[in-house]
Amino acid sequence: MASIKKLASQTAYYGLSSILGRMLNYALVPLHTRVLLHQQDYGVVGELYSYVTFLNIIFLYGMETTFFRFASKSEDQQKTYNTIFSSVLFSSIALCGILFMSSPTLLHWLSLGNDTSLYRIEYIYLFTAIMGIDAITAIPFAKLRLDNRPIKFAAVRIAVISINVFLNCYFLLFCPYWNGLHPTSIFTSFYVEANSVYYIFLSQFIATAATLLFLYKEIIQVKLRWVWSEMKPLLIFSLPLLFGGLAGMTNETLDRILLKYYLPGTMEERLSQIGIYNAAYKLSIFMTLAVQAFRMAAEPFFFSIHKNEDSKSVYAKVMNYFVLVCTIIFLGVVLHLGLFEYILGAGYRAGLGVVPILLFANLFLGIYMNLSIWYKVSDKTIYGAYITFIGAILTIVLNIILIPSIGYLGSAYATAICYIVMAAICYIAGQKFYHVPYQLNIVFKYIVLMLVFYGASIVLKNLIATSSLLFNQTIDSALFILYVGYSYLQFNTLRKN
């Protein structure tokens, strides 16, 4: 129980930083969906960030997890840190150079060969620099996690996001206001109102560059070194994670790319649909935060206890706690969706139907992350690549089949099906190679009861059939409070067992 309390405390630190940081970042959603009145502009934002998530995997090529694995068992952690940081630094410089030189070709490809003002070459330059810096700073961030320094980790994350939010507000709110009053002011003389998308990306670049300053102590202590005999085992471990990561990112973000090609209509109309879907996707952030905070704390924690006699029973207990928390988050969002919708601009609320599906999908992504520990601690990362490749193929096939008929709703269903299948395969394979006594009866009980409460909300509101937001929210809040009370009793039961 003590080890689970330690994981919970570290998850709370990482979760607090993620929640506060993301909530600051989340403040940009109502800003962007009101400033970007043309949904296709927000579609461009969502599409480019989708490409970036893929390229981030390539830039880092599994070295973050590799660092945890090798540094945790090494007698000289600094040496491992130096080697991995050096490798990521050299490869990032090379990849940035390739992307900078290829930017005209990439711009032509993004525009589908059309002469359009929706894309600009500056976007490629900015995102290339952002990806390079993200990769370089990922290893110092990993070192903070391994050294159990969640406070500095949280402080840096929140500071970077705060800078991004401040600059977005400066460029998108203050500049047009001040420029209207004082057109020649030095503070806003550079401002061009039509460049809103560019300023969003510029804000992200400046904030990301600030990370280098915040982590300078962790960076300057590096002694650059690259020895093939030392890198070989690291690469053998990391390359399956690279391919698995690419496949995993396919499951997470390829939908916003495929929508551009398989939705009907002009490119502007397709980008508008992507913009609506991307805005609605943001409302699943609370489940994403829980999964992300858990992963940050759990990965080094799981590695640190895997040699303990009770490690497998701890893994099983952690799963029960995790799923119970996620069911609370699911109901907390879907039962108050009538309030959360006002976060989005009016032109973006048509996509709210995907939110419950995406929350459910991310719950199973979290379950998969719990289950995936078996192939990491047993050095069988190739199986992780196999599983995520199966998920990637399923994602691609389902999106191609469903998007033409039901649009972005098909992408949401594809995501949910993919993560459910991946979790099932990971469980079956894990029980064969690294048996963990997961209590599936408890896990499924929580999920089924969660769906029963959600279904009860729908049935009750359909029976009463009132348009009163206050009345509907009263029903939903009562159901949510009831489930939270049940969950409290379950927490006590799990703690005693």
Write out pLDDT tens, residues 339-391: 878 777 778 888 888 999 999 999 999 999 888 888 877 777 788 878 888 98
- What's the CA gap between 478 and 324, in Å, rounded? 19
C-alpha Rg value of the chain to the nearest Å: 23
In this structure, the number of other CB atoms found within 10 A of the CB of residue 12 comes to: 14
Of the ranges 69-73, 294-298, 355-359, 454-458, which one carries the lowest mean pLDDT score? Answer: 294-298
pLDDT of the residue at 263: 86
Helix axes 267-281, 408-433, angle to 10 degrees: 50
Cβ-count burial of 441 within 10 angstroms (0-12 exposed, 13-18 middle, 19+ buried)? exposed
* Residue bearing the bigger pLDDT, 465 or 338: 338
Structure tokens that stand for 318 in this block: 């952690």
Q: Hey, is 115 helix, strand or coil?
A: coil
Burial class for 233, CB neighbours closer than 10 Å (0-12, 13-18, 19+): exposed
Q: Nearest to residue 244, comparing CAs of 31, 387, 453, 53?
A: 387
pLDDT band per the 50, 70, 90 thresholds, residue 435: confident
Q: Are 326 and 363 in contact (CB under 8 A)?
A: yes
**Residue partners of 373: CB distance under 8 A and separation at least 6:** 298, 302, 306, 315, 436
The per-residue pLDDT for 25 is 61
Q: Reduced to 3 states, what is the DSSP secondary structure of residue 462?
A: helix
Q: What share of the chain is helix, strand, coil (3-state, %, to 5)?
A: 85, 0, 15
pLDDT bucket at 100, cuts 50 / 70 / 90? very high
**3 has a pLDDT exceeding 70:** no
Query: Among residues of the chain, what percentage have pLDDT more than 70?
Result: 90
pTM above 0.95, yes or no: no
**If pLDDT is split at 50, 70 and 90, which confidence band does 9 have?**
low
Length of the chain: 497
pLDDT computed for residue 20 by the predictor: 61
4 or 462, which is more confident? 462
Spatial CB neighbours of 132, under 8 Å, sequence gap ≥ 6: 59, 92, 93, 95, 96
Annotated domain spans of the chain: 2-438
